[in-house]
Amino acid sequence: MAVFESSAAAEEVFGRLFGILLEDEAFTSQLRAHDLSIRLTQTGPDCNIHVSADKLVVGQDAPEDATIKIKMSSDTAHSLWLGKLMMPTAIATGKVRIRGKVSRVLELVPILRPAFDEYPEIAAKAGLPV
């Protein structure tokens, strides 16, 4: 059974999560310094996210172009943000597919700390298992 009951539910949770990241100067400055943008494509249910240093677009209007493209299931994303699944393991087992430099994705993980810290509370408030 999927963690998220609908695309709207996944978009709400992950939109809130990435909104927190855009408020973090360490995150946005790293994106600017390396001219990075990220496109996350999640499935089951579908959830598309595009994040750059200056904006966040969630849903069908999320641009396709990005320097890093990451694809995974919404359930995998939930496990990653809860810290129950580590990114290197997810990549090695094929649960996460990346287009762009994998090393750049792994470099981003430490600056995602505010989101990892907030995600359990965001998920709990949305009624998701934590």
Residue 96: inside a domain, yes or no? yes
Please report whether residue 63 resides in a domain.
yes
Count of residues in the chain: 130
51-96: per-residue pLDDT in tens? 999 999 999 999 999 999 999 999 999 999 999 999 889 999 999 9
Find, among 31, 50, 32, the residue nearest to 41 by Cα.
Answer: 50
CATH of the domain at 76: 3.30.1050.10
**Count of domains for the chain:** 1
Is position 72 within any domain? yes
Domain that holds residue 89: 7-122
In a domain, 128, yes or no: no
pLDDT per residue as tens digits for the range 9-32 = 999 999 999 999 999 998 999 899
Could you tell me if residue 31 is inside a domain?
Answer: yes
